[in-house]
Structure 1
Amino acid sequence: AGFFFALVITLPVYLFVLSVLPKSLFRRFPFRALARLGGVLEFTSILFSPFLELGARVGKLLLPGHAGKRGRLFAAREEVKQITTESEREGALTATERAMIHSVVDFRGSKVGDVMLPSAKVAALQSGASTKEALELSASTGLDRLPVLAPDGQPAGLVNVMDILLERNGNKPLGEYVRRIVTTTDDEPTYRVMQQLRGARLGLAAVVDRKNNFHGIVAIEDLVRRLVSAGNA
């Protein structure tokens, strides 16, 4: 009887307090929770590192034939997609989960050239343009982020029209509103450019060649759209 009552009391505590609640909190506030627990996790990792090192050495002694060999879990992206498709058929994954995994796998294999907008279709400003011209171009195209090109055709920066509209003195030269712009190449992986744009807090990157000649732009919205739709391609 005592074991039964102990099970009845501890099982809900284990399920909700030690399992459901932590997972829910980390899903709801992932970065905030990670920032607060980062020090604890790092301390725990350092504390148990001697035991991990000891276990690794014991493993090498017991299994000398496997020492120094790191087999790949998956040989190629297509193998990952095949395994997830089989898992969906067996009921281990839902169709949504399978599509999400396929999207991430395909996204990591895509290049900027697959997503970029060619320079011939880009609405850009010249470095000598005025703020009035920037506002007119934004109004005619419906774009709020416009690349700025130097006289030699190389990307010189980025103008966010909202900066001009929020400025009380709108008579400032356009150069006062020009921000730096992230540059990339058409063979750069799309996931890497997305990381750069998020780190720089910019929504647009200029695509250039090895001589820094302007070839087009890639927007973070296009990268996200590629990530979402890759699994359905």
Structure 2
Amino acid sequence: MGWLGYPIAVAIALPVYLFVLGVLPKSLFRRFPLRAVVRLSRLLELTTNLLWPLHAIGAFVERSIFARAKNPPRLFAGREELKLITIQSEESGALSPTERAMIHNVVDFTAVKVRDVMVPLEKTVSFHPNDSPQEVLKTSEKSGIDRFPIFADNAEPLGLINLYDILFDTEPSRPLRHYMRRIITASENESAYRVVRRLRAARIGLAAVVDSRQKSTGIVALEDLVRQLVQG
């Protein structure tokens, strides 16, 4: 066939190569993922062990030749530079005004402290552990609030009351201490972003705020933190 053999061989081999090594394995793994992995696990483990010395040598060479700098360059110098870039992107049409505003809110939220969002203690609706559930029901009906902090006589945060715990109780006549859930405390100077993560991890919607002397100064709710993040 002479020189025509090369293009003919490529024309025949290329579809076979793409099908056998590309399409077929992906289709099989999508249809039988667990079965295929189990059957190939021993082969993969053997291959990993055989190629491990080469991998170690390659990693050593990479570290020796392309040693990383101790202080890698930062993508942005600070919040203001990132905000300036988003403004320029909005002017060029790459970002919409809404997208730019959301990015600004997220960037600014990292600097927000709990004291900027919290409700002061004198404006907080709270209860004592000896109060009755009926008082919570009446207050909730008037205010629309479904979670309340429980404070001791000295304003020490003791726990949290969830309205639904009372509603689902068949005999809601016991003092509030029987319905108390745990509550977490946050410092006034603590990052609002960190408190959001703590509240979500604990699955609690409310935190008591304390000052440097561990004295209660207010509360902060998860919805208030999220509103600050979204609206700025």
1:69 maps to: 71
How far apart, in 1, do the equivalents of 2:144 and 2:135 lie?
14
How far 1:202 moved relative to its partner? Answer: 1.1
1:192 maps to: 194
Preserved contact between residue 131 and residue 173 of structure 1 (Cα < 8 Å): yes
How far apart, in 1, do the equivalents of 2:134 and 2:112 lie?
38
Q: Which runs of 5+ in 1 are unaligned?
A: 18-46
1:86 maps to: 88
How far apart, in 2, do the equivalents of 1:51 and 1:98 lie?
47
How far 1:127 moved relative to its partner? Answer: 2.2
The AA in structure 1 aligned to 2:120 is P
Structure 1 outlier segments of 4+, above 3 Å = 47-64
Rg comparison, structure with higher value? 2
Of 220, 225, 228, 2:222 maps to 220
Give the stretch that moved more between structures: 48-57 or 210-219. 48-57
2:165 maps to: 163
Preserved contact between residue 123 and residue 141 of structure 1 (Cα < 8 Å): no
Q: What is the TM-score normalised by the length of structure 2?
A: 0.71
The AA in structure 1 aligned to 2:83 is K
Percent identity between the two aligned chains: 46
SS in 1 for 2:103: helix
Number of residue pairs matched? 195
Q: Deviations over 1:154-187 (max 9, x none)?
A: 1111101111011111112211100011110111
How far apart, in 2, do the equivalents of 1:104 and 1:189 lie?
13
How is 1:99-110 mapped onto 2 (pairs within 5 angstroms)?
A: 99-110=101-112
1:37 maps to: none
How far 1:96 moved relative to its partner? Answer: 2.8
The AA in structure 2 aligned to 1:105 is V
How far 1:99 moved relative to its partner? Answer: 2.0
Query: CA RMSD, aligned part only?
Result: 3.3
Going from structure 1 to structure 2, the CA distance change for 1:90 and 1:57 (only over 3 Å counts) comes to farther
Q: Which runs of 5+ in 2 are unaligned?
A: 1-10, 27-47
The AA in structure 2 aligned to 1:136 is K
2:99 maps to: 97
